[in-house]
Amino acid sequence: MRGQIRRKTRYQAKLEGANIFNIMTGVALIVLIKKHDIDKHNLYYLDIGDSLTRKEKLSKLITWKSVGNIFNQKLFKKIIPNDKGDWINQRNSDFNSLIKLGNKKAKDSLFEEYTGGIKTGRDSWSWNFSKKKVKDNIFKSIEYYNNNLGDTDIYNVETRDISWTRTLKKYFEKKRIIKFDKDRIYLGMYRPFVKKYVYYDKNMVDRQYKMASVLPKVDSKNLLISLSNKTEGKPLTSLALNILPDVNLFAGGSQNLPQFLFDNLGKYSAVNQEILKKLKPLNGNDVMPYVYGILHSKEYANKYRMDLAKSFPRILNIKNKQEYIKFGRKLMDLHLNYETIPVYKECQVEYSGTLNYQVKKMRFAKKRNEDGKLEKDRSTIIFNENVTIKNIPEKAYQYIVNGKSAIEWIMDQYQVKTDKKSGITDDPNEYSTDPKYIFNLLLRIINVSVQTVDLINQLPPLEIEE
């Protein structure tokens, strides 16, 4: 009966159709028939169909009346699992023959290593738009920790000074003293196109997922391609970064392919040179834009949709490599330098009252649809009580990053929030000394989105190298 709405894009949710129980979780009706005179039983499956309303789905059930009628109409399809273990939505592509991007079990992939972002276990304390607040909050937590070192009764005391994790408790019970290090406050990417400050020290993060070999110091220079973890119902997302990523940069977790790795001797290429030979004539500087270009290809996404939902991405060996390198570089430049991209100039900005660019919570305007009901007007964003941005093109919302448009990530994250557990306020207005930073950021992301959509639409067909 489908109807799975949660964690779906608008298009995917539309295909699921309305839920027969008016909930957000998909529904399946299962009929089990036991026959004592049969040793081997079969499984059959019937998909209700795309984009149906609740009434249309229930009407089909009424029309069919019984399981016997469905069998008589030969609507059921017999399920025979394939060699990949798929029962429904079976994969039948050449995905397994492609070049692996990453493989932690063997050194047979293009990248020697990949890593998740950091998991602090205490985001409200560790991440903030204000660098000073990160310093003050973590300093207070470490002071509280050291002052009570080894006294496990403190776990039962309610406090806003610290957030206990399994890792921190282990250090605490071993009476390990922790020192605050002012040089461990990084600039990081908390959510897509949302930069914040974060305290990254191995003692004060729950998991660092080998990030120490990717960005060991605040001033370490590296380039990453962040990938959304395999999740059913959402297309693969990739985003170029050059700063520290949070583990939940994308919902469900992220993995990051680095250009370089660091050890005690310094920096070296993360690209497996033996595997790179399969992609001749690519060199080490071409790998990142080449991969980034292919990962943004609609043809790639459509052809390997089912594989990407269940497996770590692999990469094609194509003939027209230089074209994809060119487009990949342009996309990376847009996404890495989004804060300096010109603002979108086709928007109309209306001012009223005392002019200010402070933001509390952005929201869409409302408009009445054909039925007279109020709905979101995505062409207009009410930035604050004094500033309204109009004439935002619908095309800008086509740039989707992990199930949500880049514009909506900005609207969602750039709002003043106070965490209940810690009492800490995260105010995006404190990030920059430029009072128009957030306002211009929104207009820049609109421009980035429009240009990204145009570039993706210009990507040439994938010419497979035989």
Q: Residue 407, Cβ neighbours under 10 Å: how many?
A: 22
Burial class (CB in 10 A: 0-12, 13-18, 19+), 360: middle
pLDDT of residue 26: 83
Q: Do 352 and 332 belong together in one domain? A: no
Q: How far is residue 295's CA from residue 66's CA, in Å, rounded to a whole number?
A: 46
Q: Phi and psi dihedrals of 133, rounded to 5?
A: -65, -40
Residue 413 domain-assigned (yes or no): yes
> Average pLDDT of the chain?
91
Residue 47 domain-assigned (yes or no): yes
Q: Residue 43, Cβ neighbours under 10 Å: how many?
A: 12
Between strands 404-405 and 400-401, the pairing is antiparallel
Q: Do 203 and 328 belong together in one domain? A: yes
Per-residue pLDDT averaged across 215-221, rounded?
Answer: 97
pLDDT of residue 34: 74
Q: Do 17 and 144 belong together in one domain? A: no
- Is the distance from CB of 26 to CB of 4 less than 8 angstroms? yes
Per-residue pLDDT averaged across 222-228, rounded?
Answer: 97
pLDDT surpasses 90 at 224: yes
Last residue of a domain, one of 304, 336, 368: 336
Q: How far is residue 61's CA from residue 27's CA, in Å, rounded to a whole number?
A: 14
Q: Do 303 and 388 belong together in one domain? A: no
Residues 37-47 have pLDDT tens digits of 777 777 888 88
Question: Which of 94-98, 394-398, 452-456 is least confident?
Answer: 94-98
Residues 150-181 have pLDDT tens digits of 999 999 999 999 999 999 999 999 999 999 99
pLDDT of residue 9: 58
pLDDT surpasses 90 at 88: no
Residue 243 domain-assigned (yes or no): yes
Q: Do 387 and 422 belong together in one domain? A: yes
pLDDT of residue 11: 55
Dihedral angle of Cα 432, 438, 439, 441, to the nearest 10 degrees: 110
Per-residue pLDDT averaged across 410-421, rounded?
Answer: 97
DSSP state string for 192-237? TTEEEEEE--GGG-SB-TTGGGTS-STT----EEEEEPP-TTS---
pLDDT of residue 32: 78
pLDDT surpasses 70 at 205: yes
Q: Do 371 and 395 belong together in one domain? A: yes
Residue 66 domain-assigned (yes or no): yes
pLDDT surpasses 80 at 116: yes
3-state percent breakdown (helix, strand, coil) of the chain, nearest 5: 30, 20, 50
pLDDT of residue 347: 97
Question: Which of 9-23, 131-145, 385-399 is least confident?
Answer: 9-23
Which of left, alpha, beta for 102 (phi over 0: left; psi -120 to 50: alpha)? beta
Residue 90 domain-assigned (yes or no): no
- H/E segment holding residue 366: strand 363-368
Per-residue pLDDT averaged across 267-290, rounded?
Answer: 95
Q: Do 45 and 187 belong together in one domain? A: no
**Cis peptide upstream of residue 258 (ω within 30 degrees of 0):** no
Supply the range of the domain harboring residue 181. Answer: 115-336
Per-residue pLDDT averaged across 422-439, rounded?
Answer: 98
Residue 464 domain-assigned (yes or no): no
For the chain, give the percent of residues with pLDDT over 90.
72
pLDDT of residue 232: 60
Token duo for residue 153 = 């009764």
Last residue of a domain, one of 290, 316, 336: 336
Residues 132-143 have pLDDT tens digits of 999 999 999 999
pLDDT surpasses 80 at 255: yes
pLDDT surpasses 80 at 75: no
Question: Which of 4-18, 220-234, 264-278, 356-370 is least confident?
Answer: 4-18
Which of left, alpha, beta for 170 (phi over 0: left; psi -120 to 50: alpha)? alpha
Q: Which 3 state secondary structure label does DSSP give 353?
A: coil
pLDDT of residue 79: 78
- Is the distance from CB of 451 to CB of 149 less than 8 angstroms? no
Q: Do 318 and 393 belong together in one domain? A: no
Q: Do 241 and 300 belong together in one domain? A: yes
Beta-strand ranges (E) seen in 139-298 are: 185-191, 194-199, 224-228, 238-241, 244-245, 254-258, 260-263, 266-269
Q: How far is residue 361's CA from residue 414's CA, in Å, rounded to a whole number?
A: 7
Q: How far is residue 303's CA from residue 352's CA, in Å, rounded to a whole number?
A: 50
Last residue of a domain, one of 281, 304, 336: 336
- The amino acid sitting at 274 is E
Token duo for residue 89 = 């939505």
Q: Do 185 and 209 belong together in one domain? A: yes
Residue 355 domain-assigned (yes or no): yes
Per-residue pLDDT averaged across 446-454, rounded?
Answer: 98
What is the number of domains present in the chain?
Answer: 3
Number of H helices, E strands in the chain: 13, 22
Q: Do 243 and 129 belong together in one domain? A: yes
pLDDT surpasses 90 at 16: no
Q: Do 200 and 139 belong together in one domain? A: yes
pLDDT class of 440 with cuts at 50, 70, 90: very high
- The amino acid sitting at 126 is S
For the chain, give the percent of residues with pLDDT over 70.
95
Q: Phi and psi dihedrals of 341, rounded to 5?
A: -65, 140
Helices 287-295 and 321-336 meet at what angle, rounded to 10? 90
Q: Which residues pair with 464 in a beta bridge?
A: 318
Burial class (CB in 10 A: 0-12, 13-18, 19+), 453: middle
**What does DSSP assign to residue 182?**
G
Q: How far is residue 59's CA from residue 61's CA, in Å, rounded to a whole number?
A: 5
Token duo for residue 397 = 């919302």
Per-residue pLDDT averaged across 1-14, rounded?
Answer: 69
pLDDT surpasses 90 at 62: no
Residue 104 domain-assigned (yes or no): no
